[in-house]
Amino acid sequence: MTVAWGPLLAAYVVLVGLPTGLTLMTWWVGRSGASVRLERIGAWGALVALVAISVLLVADLGRPERFHLMLVRFDNLASPISWGAKLIALKILLLLLVVHAVERRRPPDRPLPRLTKVVAVLLLAVSFALALYPAALLARSWASPLAGGAGVLFVLTALLMGAAVVVLLGGEGRTALLGLLAASAVALAVEALALAGRPGDRLLLAELTTGGSAPLFWGVAVGAGLLLPAAGLLTLPRNRVVTALCAVAVLAGAAATRYLLFAVGS
Amino acid sequence: MSTWTLTRRDLLRAAAVAGVGAAGLGGIEVVHRMTTEPRAAGKTVGAVRRVASMCQMCTTACGIIANVKDGRLLTIEGNPADPNSRGAVCAKGVAGPSILYDPSRLLYPLRRVGRRGEGRWRRITWDEAYTEIADRLRAIRESGRPEEFAFQQGRNRSTDIVARFLDAFGTPSAFNHRALCSLNRRAAILTTIGDSDWDLGDYENSRYILNFGSNWAEAHQGHIPVATRMMRARERGAKIVTFDARLSNTAALSDEWYAVRPGTDGLIALAISNVICQEGLWDREWFDRWTNYPAEKYAEHVRAYTPEMAQAESGVPAEAIRRIAREFAGATPRCTTICNRGSAAHRNGFHNDRAITVLNALVGNMGEEGGWCWHPMSAWDKKALPEPGPIAPKPTARSLIAEAKDWPLANAWQSNKMRVGEIVYLWIKQRRQRISALMTYNCDQAWAWPEANLVREVLADEDLVPFHVCLDVMASETSNLADIILPWTTYLERWDIDSRPPQGLVDYVGLRQPVVPPLGESKDLREIFPELARRIGGGMEHYFPWATQEEYFEQYFAPVPGGFGHMREAGVHVDPAKKPNYLPYEKELTAEELEGTRTEDGVIHGPDGAIGVMVDGTARRGFGTPSRKVEVHSQFVNDRGREADRTISPLPVYEPIPGHREQLAQGRLIMISFKWNVHNAHRTLQSKWLQEISHTNPAWLNPATASGLGLAHGDWIEVTSYRPIDPEVPRGDGSQLGSLRTRVHLTEGIHPQVIAIAHNAGRTTGGPVASNGRDRAVLVGHEPPDHGRVWWAGSLSVAQNDILPIYPDPVSGQQAYHDTMVTVRRIEGGA
Amino acid sequence: MARLGMLIDLRTCIGCHACSVACKAEFDVPLGNFRDTVKYVEEGAYPKVTRHFIPVLCNHCEDAPCLSACPTGAVVRLDDGQVTIEDGDCNLNRACMAACPYDAIYVDEDRGAAAKCTFCDHRTAEGRQPACVDACPTNCRVFGDLDDPESEIAVRAAANDVTVWKESAGTRPKVLYVDPKNALPLIEEQGVQVDTTADLSGEPA
Ligand code: SF4
Ligand code: SF4
Ligand code: SF4
């Protein structure tokens, strides 16, 4: 069978967690008293990441000059990519708006609080949709058999990535990170049990846990991504260096998990 | 709560940005819609010109229709009017355009510069080529030794013009490839029934078909006409049983496949005959009435060939032989055998095919509907459609090589000169006959002949072959060793009158015509020969009086209703009054026919030889043999043998291949070769579409054999061959011949004592498509070829023929392709 | 409106590849890409062994995953049920390829678009048979309207046990097979595209 999607798409599936998680986590951390610095970096970070990822997506097209077809065609609403492209464009537009607002030097005249709220909620909604999106996208592909049922994992890893960046930026993300790590561990276990229960999928599980992907899975996704940071954050909660290292490990682990969801079985 | 707020102006700005973005995208979309073409349809849409012609990718010559648009051939399909192929063609037929437009085709005459074989060429004009060739040939002709001009043909479907030129020149040195092909089968059938050298089982109406090693699904001379009829028979519940050393596609399509040890087919047929006789399943009455040997005595003769003996030799279980004998005889008259190179291309092939043919007589299916049939014409009705005059007389000069007197049956039949192609270059090397000029036509003997390295050695030697002209569509191993290369037209750019043994048992005639004009400066023999004749002069030119090829065919086809015009339109003609050739021997002779005849021992002789036989008091046509009956016992072959100091049993017998038993016991294997369905000769390797399907030839080995030799799939091996241990064969001393390096392909579909290597590979020339990327040469006058898309570049492709010994059956001269003994040894990494 | 389909009778397929070459010729399909091909599969152990010939092509699924995956609407269903790709609307995101369980779609470098079997709609529009069906020497490929009970395909589908390739993919193919020897499960893991990496190399290691 031909492998339709290669490294660029893998990079996309991995990286798209970043802007999504960033937006969601800056909101979460800022619920009770946001910091300007965090919101600013969050908005800029998400925007830059999203634009970079869009470039990846366009570059992956065999006919990049025709990228616009994904935005202007509404014939096929069953297509996840059709939705995804439009959501990414919408999120970029919303982020532009936010960036514009956070960069404002003088306090705004005639503020519209209700509009602000609507935009903020829309941004969260779009981000959440984009967090689920890789699962929807890959569910249609026989080449990534693991990904289709892994919506929860995609959301959790995106949030982990976002939280890790927030922590790295000095935000108060430690508790969130710990909670997410716990949730991820549970989700991984549930997923593994589900795979073990289906005869066809048992091979995939074996590939993951004992096969060629095992080093990446145990070493990076589980070891570096879950166990190490959980241990670090719990035992040395005040140590900045340790916290930062834990955040980096979480980033690597989440990326590995996402990559494995994309690649195993293809 | 967020630290930022939005204003009305922000909203407007965002709307503006979104608007500009949407407008921009909309604009791109409008431009895109206006500039993109609708989906390109396939090629054959709309008005195309349909030209009827005949295929020549293989030798079956199926009727085709070429779809041509604006002077370009688009696609090829079958011509439903063709009574043989009935509108069907195979992948090779459909692949025609890839041969016609092959970028590695030769398009200009070339003259070698530097040493022969060095690969350096200069483009010359046709005039230069004609002048040099004509000068050379004229000198030979005027020397009084015209036989020193030799013509080497491969597949020749232009027999009329070739014979005309060679006869007019006066050379008998016409070398063909029949001995590398079908000699034994033809000899066996001629011996037995005389009427024809080709059996045409009525497969479509048959209920039980015994196949002795014929691969009609892939390579038979009646390929598609046979295969389609077999499938119709299957639909009606016919049973097909195949004996073959290898699971060919034909074997796979059979209801039963038995892997036999090569060279034992005749024994199986004799054992089946024995069972039929012993159990009284025969049509004894028919046998006694229509053969020249009493059934009782034949039963006596085959008694020694027990199923148990056949099992021991061939590997086919005795019980299966018994059951098959019963089933076969039970289906008579709707049962038939079919065989080809699998049974015939052996040292004992003549007798194998004799035994198989006589098996049909035993059950009385000969000439019956659904039985074992034939047709007296292997081509069109040459009485109704005579060759336009003037006809040149047959040469009086003699060619030692063509006569091949060491092989008593090679040229035993007046009308059927088979020659012994595989010894040609050996004999040239041994200077048995001097050759002053050689012309190669549609043949790659330097690649396809047994001991091809010997052929190359001879062709490279300017003493042995002082002048060599090669006429072919593309560069070949042989053209590499020429002095002048002439670019030949493909079969899609030239004229022929043609037809094949009619599988429907009614003869027909077809026309091959150019579907597009010749590409580049390529020309056909029909243009080259008349011009050479004119330039050689000396009276040769008188035999080529017509001005154009059309004029010649106008005359040739004049007797057909509607003439040449009708042929150009329909491509084929069948006389509707003719009936299938069922039971021709039963035909009673009319009083008119009997006038002036005399009867001797029951055989009725007319002024030009025997015309019939008295059977139960009635004068009937009988068979075309000396006895006018089926010659189960052939005094004729026995006599021919005696003249050449060879013993040829008058009855079919089983003679084990000398040396096989001993060498098999030592663990040697028998090496056989085979063809894939998408390939034929060297020329099909030029097709990118066919090569894409089949382009590699690792050696087939049974896993049991491989594990015994410590071999796994993909391992590199060295295959070393040995000459036959056979005093009746030239150089039959059992010595080591040569080695090749290849890799192992494991398959359950092969006899454990056999190693099989496909023939369709191993070319080093002809462009990247044909040579798996090995040929990096740029032809004179051509763009460099595109190597990029040949995804199979670098795939294993090994020439087998260098290690195949020249091995003529002492009786007939047929090359024993499938009797080579080899040893196999694992080598590390192939280096 | 017809419901066009194809029936392939594996009992009389001789594995000759006339179909696949005819398809190559009809569209100049680039080397290495396949709209149609014939799979050869060996089954059994010596001496009880056989080889199956299984022609494969796009199934023009009733429930076509390629169609629902395409974000640009380039994959369309024609009136008679054929699933085709509009070159001009394709930006080669290859979602269709990733979605097709039969690997029937390839990137056509010459066209700059994803491409696949069209059921030869350009020919059927002219009242002709698809190129592969026309080319099949044994007539083991039958093409026609599955909804027309008089059509040869409907008659033959009714008269025989028919099955489809990878039924579990749930795509409801319109290429039907008569497969009494149960060969289709043997190519469950394969697709229409040929594995161009499977050859043994001729270069000594
Ligand atoms: S069987 Fe031979 S003659 Fe007939 S279409 Fe195929 S290649 Fe041509
Ligand atoms: S229907 Fe047409 S496009 Fe499809 S496989 Fe057959 S020839 Fe090719
Ligand atoms: S053309 Fe017909 S017989 Fe030949 S491989 Fe294709 S489907 Fe089978």
Assess C103–A contact: CB distance below 8 Å, yes or no. Answer: yes
Which ligand number lies closest to the CA of residue C39? 3
User: Ligand 2, closest atom to CA C135?
Assistant: 7
Q: What is the DSSP string of B566-590?
A: HHHHHSEEE-TT-----SGGGPBPP
- Asked if C91 lies within 8 A of A61 by C-beta distance, the reply is yes
Nearest of A211, C17, A116, A86 to residue B227 by alpha carbon: C17
Nearest CA to ligand 2 atom 3: C117
- Asked if A1 lies within 8 A of C98 by C-beta distance, the reply is no
Q: Which domains does chain A have, with CATH numbers?
A: 7-263 (1.20.1630.10)
B736 and B819 part of one domain: yes
B387 and B527 part of one domain: yes
Do the domain assignments include residue B159? yes
pLDDT for the residue numbered A141: 83
Query: Among the listed ranges A81-85, B4-8, B773-777, which one has the minimum average pLDDT value?
Result: B4-8
Q: Specify the DSSP class assigned to residue B478.
A: T
Assess C104–B contact: CB distance below 8 Å, yes or no. Answer: no
* Cα dihedral B760→B765→B770→B772 (10° resolution): 100
Identify which of C69, C91, C112 has the shortest CB distance to residue A79: C69
Q: Which of residues 668-697 of B touch C (CB under 8 A)?
A: 677-678, 688-690, 692-693, 695-696
pLDDT for the residue numbered B34: 85
Please tell me which residue, B596 or A75, carries the higher pLDDT value.
B596
pLDDT for the residue numbered B462: 96
pLDDT at B791 over 70: yes
B404 and B497 part of one domain: yes
Which chain C residue shows the shortest CA-CA distance from B750?
Answer: C46
Which ligand number lies closest to the CA of residue B90? 1
Report whether B519 contacts B493 (CB < 8 A).
yes
Distance (Å, whole) CA B671 – CA B804: 9
Assess C25–B contact: CB distance below 8 Å, yes or no. Answer: yes
Do the domain assignments include residue B481? yes
Query: Angle at Cα A149 formed by Cα A146 and Cα A152, nearest 5°?
Result: 110
pLDDT for the residue numbered B830: 63
| Measured distance between the N- and C-terminal CA atoms of chain B, rounded to whole angstroms | 74
What tens digit of pLDDT does each residue of B479-526 get?
A: 999 999 999 999 999 999 999 999 999 999 999 999 999 999 999 999
B420 and B536 part of one domain: yes
- Asked if A82 lies within 8 A of C68 by C-beta distance, the reply is no
Q: How far is C22 from chain B (nearest CA, A)?
A: 6
Distance (Å, whole) CA A160 – CA A163: 5
B469 and B544 part of one domain: yes
pLDDT at C169 over 60: yes
Nearest of C193, C16, C7 to residue C103 by alpha carbon: C193
pLDDT at B574 over 90: yes
- Full-model pTM: 0.94
> From the DSSP assignment, how many helices (H) and strands (E) are in chain C?
6, 9
**CATH code for the domain of B214:** 3.40.228.10
B607 and B747 part of one domain: no
Q: Which of residues 118-157 of A touch C (CB under 8 A)?
A: 137, 140-144
Rg of the Cα atoms in chain A: 19
B623 and B523 part of one domain: no
Number of structural domains (chain B) is 5
Q: What percent of chain B has pLDDT over 90?
A: 89
What residue ranges line ligand 2, CB within 6 angstroms?
C 23, 26, 35-36, 57, 117-120, 130-132
Chain C CB contacts of B314 under 8 Å are: none
Residue A237's pLDDT band (cuts 50, 70, 90): confident
Report whether B240 contacts B253 (CB < 8 A).
yes
**3-class DSSP state of B728:** coil
Assess A193–B contact: CB distance below 8 Å, yes or no. Answer: no
B204 and B344 part of one domain: yes
**3-class DSSP state of A66:** helix
Report whether B132 contacts B360 (CB < 8 A).
no
What tens digit of pLDDT does each residue of B89-114 get?
A: 999 999 999 999 999 999 999 999 99
**3-class DSSP state of C37:** strand
Identify which of A69, A72, A109 has the shortest CB distance to residue B7: A109
Nearest CA to ligand 2 atom 6: C132
What tens digit of pLDDT does each residue of B406-458 get?
A: 999 999 998 788 899 999 999 999 999 999 999 999 999 999 999 999 999 99
pLDDT for the residue numbered B54: 98
β-bridge mates for residue B739, sequence order:
B720
Helix (H) or strand (E) holding B114: none
pLDDT for the residue numbered B139: 98
Per the prediction, chain B carries an average pLDDT of: 95
Chain A CB contacts of B8 under 8 Å are: 110, 112
User: Ligand 3, closest atom to CA C17?
Assistant: 5
Characterise A156 by phi-psi region: left (phi > 0), alpha (psi -120 to 50), beta (else): alpha
Residue C123's pLDDT band (cuts 50, 70, 90): very high
Neighbours of B, requiring at least 3 CB pairs below 8 Å, are A, C
Query: How many other C-beta atoms lie within 10 A of the C-beta of residue A212?
Result: 10
Q: The dihedral of CA B706, B709, B715, B718: what is its sign?
A: negative
**Cis peptide bond N-terminal to C47, omega within 30:** yes
Identify which of B41, B696, B748 has the shortest CB distance to residue C45: B748
Do the domain assignments include residue B3? no
B119 and B168 part of one domain: yes
Nearest CA to ligand 3 atom 2: C136
**3-class DSSP state of B524:** coil
Domain that holds residue B241: 199-363
Which ligand number lies closest to the CA of residue B216? 1
Do the domain assignments include residue B30? no
Characterise B601 by phi-psi region: left (phi > 0), alpha (psi -120 to 50), beta (else): left
**3-class DSSP state of B811:** coil
User: Ligand 1, closest atom to CA B54?
Assistant: 3
Q: What percent of chain A has pLDDT over 90?
A: 45
pLDDT at B297 over 60: yes
pLDDT for the residue numbered B98: 97
Mean pLDDT across B317-322: 98
B117 and B94 part of one domain: no
Query: Among the listed ranges A135-139, B273-277, B354-358, B572-576, which one has the minimum average pLDDT value?
Result: A135-139
Please report which residue ranges of C92-151 form alpha helices under DSSP H.
Answer: 95-99, 121-124, 131-135
Do the domain assignments include residue B373? no
What tens digit of pLDDT does each residue of B590-632 get?
A: 999 999 999 999 999 998 889 999 998 999 999 999 999 999 9
B226 and B352 part of one domain: yes
Distance (Å, whole) CA B612 – CA B618: 10
Chain C CB contacts of A82 under 8 Å are: 71-72
Residue B657's pLDDT band (cuts 50, 70, 90): very high
pLDDT for the residue numbered B831: 59
Do the domain assignments include residue B318? yes
Q: Which domains does chain C have, with CATH numbers?
A: 4-187 (3.30.70.20)
Identify which of B2, B7, B18 has the shortest CB distance to residue A93: B18
What tens digit of pLDDT does each residue of B73-83 get?
A: 999 999 999 99
pLDDT for the residue numbered A34: 65
**CATH code for the domain of B434:** 3.40.50.740
pLDDT for the residue numbered A108: 72
Q: What is the DSSP string of A194-205?
A: HHHHSHHHHHHH
Chain A CB contacts of C90 under 8 Å are: 63, 66
Nearest CA to ligand 2 atom 5: C36
- Asked if A111 lies within 8 A of B3 by C-beta distance, the reply is no
Distance (Å, whole) CA A19 – CA A51: 10
Nearest CA to ligand 3 atom 5: C15
Chain B CB contacts of C201 under 8 Å are: 794-796
Report whether C92 contacts C112 (CB < 8 A).
yes
Which ligand number lies closest to the CA of residue C38? 3
Residue B358's pLDDT band (cuts 50, 70, 90): very high
Do the domain assignments include residue B2? no
B774 and B694 part of one domain: yes
- Asked if B698 lies within 8 A of C12 by C-beta distance, the reply is no
**Secondary structure (H, E, C), B140-202:** HHHCCCHHHEEEEECCCCCHHHHHHHHHHHCCCCEECCHHHCCHHHHHHHHHHHCCCCCECCC
pLDDT at B44 over 90: no
Identify which of C47, C121, C196 has the shortest CB distance to residue B791: C196
What tens digit of pLDDT does each residue of B187-209 get?
A: 999 999 999 999 999 999 999 99
- Asked if C99 lies within 8 A of A142 by C-beta distance, the reply is yes
- At position B99, the amino acid (one-letter code) is I
pLDDT at B333 over 70: yes
What tens digit of pLDDT does each residue of B816-828 get?
A: 999 999 999 999 8
**CATH code for the domain of B724:** 2.40.40.20
Please tell me which residue, B798 or B418, carries the higher pLDDT value.
B798
Assess C140–A contact: CB distance below 8 Å, yes or no. Answer: no
Do the domain assignments include residue B498? yes
Identify which of C65, C91, C94 has the shortest CB distance to residue A5: C94
Residue B393's pLDDT band (cuts 50, 70, 90): very high
Q: How far, in Å, is the centroid of ligand 3 from the Cα of C143? A: 13
Residue B679's pLDDT band (cuts 50, 70, 90): very high
Chain B CB contacts of A119 under 8 Å are: 6
Q: Could you tell me if the CB of C39 is within 6 A of ligand 3? A: no
Residue A194's pLDDT band (cuts 50, 70, 90): confident
Nearest CA to ligand 2 atom 4: C117
- Asked if B3 lies within 8 A of A104 by C-beta distance, the reply is no
Report whether B789 contacts B705 (CB < 8 A).
no
**3-class DSSP state of C160:** coil
Domain end (from B643, B672, B690): B643
Q: How far, in Å, is the centroid of ligand 1 from the Cα of B94? A: 8
